[in-house]
A and B are shown apart, each in its own frame.
Chain A
Amino acid sequence: MEALHLRAENEFDVEPLAYDKVLDAIRAGIRIAKSVPLTDEEITPSTYFWLTDSPDQSCLSLDSVDFLRLIVFLEEEYGWSIPETDIDASECRTVGDMASLVIKHVRGDHQRAPG
């Protein structure tokens, strides 16, 4: 995977997308979607978007409108788009899951871009 990443940067002159940058963008999107000044400590990679079966898990309790606003914020502000099938998949449950999906798909878009 790393080799592919490097090749993409060299061939298409693309800056690698840093995980921390994506994380900060998602945090900004969540604050806007929820209209609440949450701290970085309240939005960590392991924070769940929705309630889970485990009462000990930290969770943002986003509803469908909050979540839509977050996705649209990432698209409009950064041009990062996550496919609908990945949004529905159970792999997109935490802030970290979403950051990983953004990186995966932005990288994929860059690799496909010249074709």
Chain B
Amino acid sequence: MSSNHLVGALRDLIDLGPDAFSGPHTNAFVEAVGRQHPAGTLYKKATAEAIACTELSGVCPEDVAAEVYANFIWTHFVCKLLMTAAPMQAARFAQTHFDMSEPVSAVEACGASILSCFHYSGYPLVALGVAVSPLAPLITKARVDIMEHQAPDRLGDQVVYLSDRSAGVRLTRALKQGKSVWVMLDVVLPSVRTIKTRLLGVETSVGAGVGTLALLSGRPCIPLSWELQPGKTKLHTGAPVLTAERSEEAVIQEFVTSQAAFIAEHPAQWLEWYSVLDEAPRIRAEVKRGNEEVWACLAHAL
């Protein structure tokens, strides 16, 4: 990997500041990182294969996979790096860039809720935007990463690490006490309990935790979706998924169905298409290893 070239490109990116979050300034960087990501070919191939085996019609799987890959690289290596390099500017940008009117109205109507979505393009920036919005939910993350060390202090108490034993307890208690939480369930971590669902005609396993949280807390799940725009990006909400007298499976399937409708209209936005494949855990592990290699290379510039 030509690390000097990437580090130079990253420094140029950081110099752009929040402008790099929108507009075409980042295309060259995305292309450079995308070319050198060790799992790039696997990611694109698996994404195309996943798209081809669903009910999605009228699209070329390879073309969509190429777009998904660019969005994946942008999310992991532009979005996260800028959030790490300039956390306060990123928080200010997120505060003004997102139109939260739909989620705010939904929570006003439903009370404390589980705000949930799949991993769409720009999800870390959206999570930050939701965290600094009037909703101020607890935000879940898989584990501590480099961003934690440089995040604005006031967000520290808002983050719940799913690697902690107490994560589910903390989220349930928060919901019962009237605080919303943000949870994503399409990425299944090793040893996490899963539920089989149908997504665009394919059996897909997702984390079971959201259903348990909803039933134990008695709070609804509000599906979220968005498509990043250069100007203001609007967060959309689906109909709240209610829990009364329903099974966890039924709650989660309704949520997945709501996400599937968004994905069918905006297939390039979903970064985790390969979740529908049986070998998703192996692919995820390889992609994660590749991410870490690229991160290690780019860290020199931070």
Size bracket, chain A contacts: 10 to 19
Is A64 in contact with B167, judged by CB distance below 8 angstroms? yes
Number of interface residues of B (CB under 8 A): 17
Chain A interface mostly = helix
- Assembly CA distance A72 to B166 (angstroms): 11
Interface centre among A65, A67, A84, A92, by most chain B C-beta atoms within 10 angstroms, is A65
Query: A72-B172, A84-B170 are known contacts. Are A64 and B216 too (CB-CB below 8 A)?
Result: no
- Assembly CA distance A71 to B193 (angstroms): 17
Is A87 in contact with B165, judged by CB distance below 8 angstroms? yes
- Across chains A and B, the number of contacting residue pairs, with CB separation under 8 Å, is 42
A68 at the interface (CB under 8 A from B): yes
Chain A 13-36 near chain B by CB (<8 Å), digits 1 or 0: 000000000000000000000000
- List chain B residues, Cβ under 8 A from A92: 165
Query: A72-B172, A72-B216 are known contacts. Are A65 and B166 too (CB-CB below 8 A)?
Result: no
- Nearest CB to that of B169 among chain A residues? A71
Q: What's the nearest-Cβ distance from chain A to residue B177, in Å?
A: 12
Instruction: Determine which of B165, B170, B173, B193 lies in contact with A65 in the assembled complex, contact meaning CB atoms within 8 Å.
Output: B193
- Nearest CB to that of B160 among chain A residues? A84
Q: What's the nearest-Cβ distance from chain B to residue A108, in Å?
A: 18
- List chain A residues, Cβ under 8 A from B216: 68-69, 72
Chain B 92-120 near chain A by CB (<8 Å), digits 1 or 0: 00000000000000000000000000000
- List chain A residues, Cβ under 8 A from B168: 64-65, 67-68
List chain B positions with a Cβ less than 8 A from chain A: 164-170, 172-173, 191-193, 208-209, 212-213, 216
